[in-house]
Amino acid sequence: MKYDILPVIMAGGSGTRLWPLSRALYPKQFLVLQDDNQSLFQQAHLRLQALGADDITVLKPCVVGNEEHRFLVLDQLRELKGEPSSLLLEPAGRNTAPAVTLAALQATADGSDPILVVTPADQTVTNPQAYTAALQSAIRAAANGDIVILGITPDKPETGFGYIRTSGADAQGVRNVAAFVEKPNLETAKAYLADGGYFWNSGMFVMKASRWLAALAHFRPDIAEATTKSFEVRSTDAQFVRPGKEEFKAVPSESVDYAVMEQCPAQPNSGFVVRMVPLDAGWSDLGAWDAVWQVSPHDAQGNAAHGDVLMQDSKDTLVHATSRLVAAVGLDNVVVVETPDAVLVADRSKSQDVKKIVAKLEGASRTEGTLHRRVHRPWGWYDSIDMGPRFQVKRIMVKPKASLSLQMHHHRAEHWIVVSGTAEVTVGDKVVLLSENQSTYIPLGTVHRLINPGAIPLEIIEVQSGSYLGEDDIVRFQDNYGRSA
C-alpha cells in the first residue's frame, strides 16, 4: 500500500527567548544557529523531504505562517530548490489547533486525503536517520485512522516539557497513549525518568487530514466551524492562501494538545485513538540559549563558540558573534550573543528570562525587539549603517531581476551611489541605467523606483536627508509584492 504524505511546517512564532538574534520580523525558525549554514526551517523541510520510501510519496510542503514572514519562507525554500504546495497566512495568532485545521482544509480542498506530517519549524535533531525511521513508522501507523504523535525519549529529568504517559507497545514499537501530563516539578520528573513509560511531548504528530477534521469536529466543534468559515472565504494569490481576516479573528485560540490530543485518552469511547512512536534522535526545541549551548560542539572546557570568538579561562559558556570579534575572559556558565545593534549577556541558567527583556523593549516602543539593523525585504535587504539628525545612510542589496516599489517620500530626499551591479532608476519621468561608481539624486516629493535588471545582486549606498526619515514615509503607487504602505 502506498501513502501520500503532506508535510505541514508550522512556521509561526517569534522566538523571544533567543533574542537578540531572534526578532519578531526575523524569528528563530529562520536563523542559522549551527555551522551547516541551514536555518531551522530549512532543516525541518529537508528532514521531511527525506521521508520518502517505496510505500511513501512526499508531496510539496504546506507551510503555515505569518504574513510578515511569507517572503522569508519562499526565499529559504528556493535556496534549497524547493517550493511549497501552499503557504497559509494566518491573519492573527490563534495557537496550533486552528493552524493545523487550515492545513487539513487546504489538503482536502481538492478531494484528496493525504496523511499530514505536522512539525514545528524551530526544532533540531542530531540523528536524522533515527528521525526518518521514527516518522516512517508513524506514517504507517496513522494510515489506519489513528492519530500518532512523536514522543521524545527523555535523557534527564526535564521540568520544562509536558510528558506523555504510555502503556504497552505493538510489534513495531508503537505505544498506546494513556494520558498527557503537564510540566512536572523536579522530583516528579525524576520519577518519570525512572519509570521508563513517560516521554517528552515533541509537538510533532501524524494523521490523515480527514481524521483530524473529524476529531476536531467531535471535541471542539466551535473551533472547527469558525476555522472552516474563515477558510471558505479565503483569497488565493499564487502560493499564498489568506483565510478571511475577520472570520479568523473569531476562531477560539487553542493548542492541538488541549483541543484534541488530551481528549482522546480521556474519552476512550470517542472512537479517536492516539498512539505514540518513540523518537531518540538528539532532539531539541532550542527554546532558549541554554538549549543552543547544549546542542553545540564544545571545547575541552565546555565552551561553545560561533563566529569570530576568542575565549580565555572560561567554561560552560556560549558566545555567539555575528558582526565583530568578541573576546570572553573568566566566564563561567554565561551566554554572550552579539549583533550589530544589541548585545545580550546572561547567566546560562537564566536564559529563559530573555523574553522579559523583549517585553521591556516592547513596553518602551523600541524597535530592537522587532527588527534587526539589517532588514529583509522581498526584493533584498537594507542595512542602516549610520544615522544622525536629519540624515541616514543605508547599504541596500537588490536581488537580480527584483524591483522596489514605485514610490515617493514627503519628508526626505535621497542620494543613490552604485557600489556593484547595474541599477535601472526611475526619477520622475526619466529612466536611466547606472553602473558601478555612478550616482543619482531623488528630490523630496519625486516619484522614483529602483530595479536590478542584471543577473548579479545590485548593491547601492543610499544617503537620506530630511526632516523625517521613518520607514512609514513611503507612498507606494505600484508594487510587485502586494504592499500598500
Asked whether residue 192 falls in the same domain as residue 65, the answer is: yes
Domain that holds residue 391: 374-478
Asked whether residue 248 falls in the same domain as residue 323, the answer is: no
Kindly state whether residue 447 falls inside one of the protein's structural domains.
Answer: yes
Kindly state whether residue 313 falls inside one of the protein's structural domains.
Answer: yes
Kindly state whether residue 483 falls inside one of the protein's structural domains.
Answer: no
CATH code: domain of residue 171: 3.90.550.10
Asked whether residue 159 falls in the same domain as residue 66, the answer is: yes
Name the DSSP letter for residue 61: P
SS3 content of the chain, % helix, strand, coil (to 5): 25, 35, 40
Contact 242, 91 (CB under 8 A): yes
The CA distance from 413 to 469, in Å, is 9
Residue 26 β-bridge partners: 23
The x, y and z cell numbers of residue 380, run together, are 533584498
Regions of the chain where pLDDT drops below 50: 485
Q: What is the pLDDT of residue 457?
A: 97
B/e letters for 260-279, b = 16+ CB within 10 Å, e = fewer, are: bbbbbbeeeeeebbbbbbbb
pLDDT 10s digits, 432-455? 999 999 999 999 999 999 999 999
The CA distance from 461 to 251, in Å, is 46
303, 330, 363 — which closes off a domain?
363
The CA distance from 296 to 348, in Å, is 14
Asked whether residue 21 falls in the same domain as residue 124, the answer is: yes
SS3 label, residue 331: coil
Asked whether residue 184 falls in the same domain as residue 333, the answer is: no
Kindly state whether residue 369 falls inside one of the protein's structural domains.
Answer: no
Asked whether residue 9 falls in the same domain as residue 149, the answer is: yes
pLDDT 10s digits, 354-373? 999 999 999 999 999 998 99
The CA distance from 65 to 62, in Å, is 10
Cα–Cα separations (whole angstroms), residue 309 to 276, 304, 327, 336, 461: 42, 10, 6, 10, 29
Name the DSSP letter for residue 260: I
Asked whether residue 271 falls in the same domain as residue 294, the answer is: no
Q: What's the structural domain count of the chain? A: 3
Q: Within 10 A of 235 (CB to CB), how many other CB atoms are there?
A: 11
Asked whether residue 106 falls in the same domain as residue 193, the answer is: yes
| Residue of 325, 292, 289 lying closest to 310 (CA atoms) | 325
Q: What is the pLDDT of residue 484?
A: 58
Q: What is the pLDDT of residue 481?
A: 81
Instruction: Please give the torsion angle defined by the CA atoms of residues 226, 230, 231 and 235, in that order, rounded to the nearest 10 degrees.
Output: 180
Kindly state whether residue 284 falls inside one of the protein's structural domains.
Answer: no
CATH code: domain of residue 384: 2.60.120.10
The CA distance from 56 to 288, in Å, is 35
Asked whether residue 148 falls in the same domain as residue 31, the answer is: yes
| Residue of 19, 13, 50, 12 lying closest to 292 (CA atoms) | 19
Asked whether residue 241 falls in the same domain as residue 131, the answer is: yes
246, 279, 312 — which closes off a domain?
279
The CA distance from 42 to 408, in Å, is 36
363, 392, 415 — which closes off a domain?
363
Asked whether residue 101 falls in the same domain as residue 18, the answer is: yes
Q: Which amino acid is at 74?
A: L
Kindly state whether residue 393 falls inside one of the protein's structural domains.
Answer: yes
Asked whether residue 417 falls in the same domain as residue 310, the answer is: no
The pTM for the full model equals 0.90
Kindly state whether residue 484 falls inside one of the protein's structural domains.
Answer: no
Kindly state whether residue 186 falls inside one of the protein's structural domains.
Answer: yes
Q: What is the pLDDT of residue 195?
A: 92
